[in-house]
Amino acid sequence: MLNIILFGPPGAGKGTQSSRLIQKYGLVHLSTGDVFRYNIKNETELGLMAKRYIDQGKLVPDEVTNNMVKDFIQRNSNSNGFIFDGYPRTIAQGENLATVLREMNAQVTCMMALQVDEDELVNRLLERGKTSGRPDDQDESIIRNRFKVYNDETSPLADYYNKQGKYIAVHGMGSIDDIFRDLCTAIDQVI
């Protein structure tokens, strides 16, 4: 199995690049943000609960997110592998992912971390907010809070995977095609 974590702050281009990577490598895309938004749209119990956190730019509690991810991975256990987009976001989530994959005799192949300047990110998110309909992309204070959460809770995962020899930094500025090419080059070197 090829299990790639696409890592980076909000607005780094994880969603855009994931869509291309799943096609090229025949992988299943798991965007925890997309799963939450789907549940919000359908007014499920999970969606109503998650909305309270997402609207403030906070993380949905680990237990809820981890159970949702476990269920998703197990339902897709016959696939070639996954692109994890927006997951894990805490060390506890990273440990859950390792456990769930280990139960299937699999593991994380690598974490590819998109590097983008923060000013560029704010501009990209505000621009995306004009068309995405995402309330958390339309308010600069919520965006800033998402960066704070990223820096405090999510960025330690870079070190967590670096220590496992799985961390790969990829330049995340420039054209979508150029970034995609660099991601593919990096993936082709580890498979």
Catalytic residue, chosen from 146, 148, 163, 166, is: 146
Structure tokens at 144: 């800033």
Amino acid residing at 1: M
Annotated active-site residue 124? The verdict is no
The contact set with ligand AMP (CB under 6 A) reads: 10, 32-33, 36, 53-54, 57-60, 65, 86-87, 89, 93, 136, 146
Q: Pick the closer one to ligand AMP by CB: 118 or 191.
A: 118
Work out how close the CB of 106 gets to ligand AMP at its nearest, in angstroms, rounded to a whole number. Answer: 19
Percentages of the chain per state (helix, strand, coil), in multiples of 5 = 60, 15, 25
Annotated active-site residue 24? The verdict is no
Per-residue burial over 165-177, b if 16 or more Cβ lie within 10 Å, else e, is ebbbebebeeeee
Q: Pick the closer one to ligand AMP by CB: 28 or 59.
A: 59
The whole-angstrom separation of Cα 135 and Cα 143 is: 10
The whole-angstrom separation of Cα 69 and Cα 109 is: 17
Q: Pick the closer one to ligand AMP by CB: 10 or 13.
A: 10
For residue 61, the 8-state DSSP code is P
Catalytic residue, chosen from 14, 37, 130, 181, is: 14
Annotated active-site residue 37? The verdict is no
Q: Pick the closer one to ligand AMP by CB: 93 or 109.
A: 93
Work out how close the CB of 186 gets to ligand AMP at its nearest, in angstroms, rounded to a whole number. Answer: 21
Structure tokens at 181: 């090419």
Closest residue to ligand AMP using C-beta atoms: 33
The whole-angstrom separation of Cα 72 and Cα 75 is: 5
Positions marked active-site: 14, 89, 128, 134, 146
